[in-house]
Amino acid sequence: MPPGLAEAIGPVLAIFGVGSMILIGMKIRYTHLRQTRLGQGGQEEMEHLTEDVATLHDEVRLLRQDFAEMYERVEFAERLLTRGQAEAADRAPGEPQ
């Protein structure tokens, strides 16, 4: 894994997470507007929206955990690669590997 991969993956995952949240929020908002215009909604709609928000919070928490775990793995791989490169640089050109 090339050095700096964690820095490259982080923004991509952040954009994916934020984009997903925006799309889900737009869907919730569209559903709410559509039902409100049709005269539906009320308490049931509020309960549904509350459940959707709780679900979104859970999904964001899981995404953050997954991102933290992935970041730790990338950092570990980068340390291994760096250590291997340092050991290779310390060896003399004629020494066996």
Number of domains, the chain:
1
Does residue 95 sit within a domain? no
Hey, how many other C-beta atoms are within 10 angstroms of the C-beta on 32? 17
Those residues of the chain that have pLDDT short of 70 are 1-3, 5-6, 36-42, 92-97
The pLDDT assigned to 42 comes to: 66
Which runs of consecutive H residues, i.e. helices, occur in the chain?
A: 5-37, 42-90
Q: Which of 18, 93, 21 is nearest to 56 (CA)?
A: 21
Query: Is residue 16 a part of any domain in this protein?
Result: yes
| 35 domain-assigned | yes
Three-state DSSP state, 81: helix
What pLDDT was estimated at residue 66?
93
Q: Is the pTM of this model over 0.85?
A: no
- pLDDT for the residue numbered 18: 80
Q: Where are the beta strands (DSSP E) in the chain?
A: none
Task: Say how many C-beta atoms besides its own lie within 10 A of residue 42's C-beta.
Answer: 10
What pLDDT shows up at residue 10? 75
> Which structural domain range is residue 10 located in?
5-89
